Amino acid sequence: MNTIKSGWMLDRVKYQPAVERFARRLMDERRPFLSLPEGAERGVRFNSDDAVMARIESNYTEEEFMSCPGLYIENMLIDAAKSDFWYSYEIDYNDPIQEDNENAE
């Protein structure tokens, strides 16, 4: 699996509508009961079906996803929650080095 900046890609391959509906139902079922690790929070990305779906489609082919959908949904929910935490607590918008690094990529 390739490393994907920010958890998702713009040129990802969209899943078939039936698979996407299935994934969204599973997200709704699992999200309220998921125990998050330290350094993660239930923020905007975690609570957005579209954001989590973009992460899933970016990181797994449709076939990979369907082989273990619950695990992959939980992985991407946690990834989104870690991103929420980072944007809430870790990012320093006044850090010129961090800004230079982001502009270089």
Q: Are 56 and 75 in contact (CB under 8 A)?
A: no
User: Taking the mean position of all CA atoms in its chain, how far away is CA 60?
Assistant: 12
Q: What is the pLDDT of residues 67-81, one digit of tens each?
A: 999 999 999 999 999
CA distance 100 to 75: 30
Count of positions (residues) in the chain: 105
- Residue 88 gets which letter from DSSP? I
**Structure-token pair, residue 60:** 């797994």
State yes or no: pLDDT of 64 exceeds 60.
yes
Backbone angles phi, psi at 36, to 5 degrees: -95, 145
Q: What is the pLDDT of residues 13-38, one digit of tens each?
A: 899 999 999 999 999 999 999 999 99
Q: Give every CB contact of residue 33 below 8 A, 6+ residues apart in sequence.
A: none
CA distance 22 to 15: 10
pLDDT of residue 101: 47
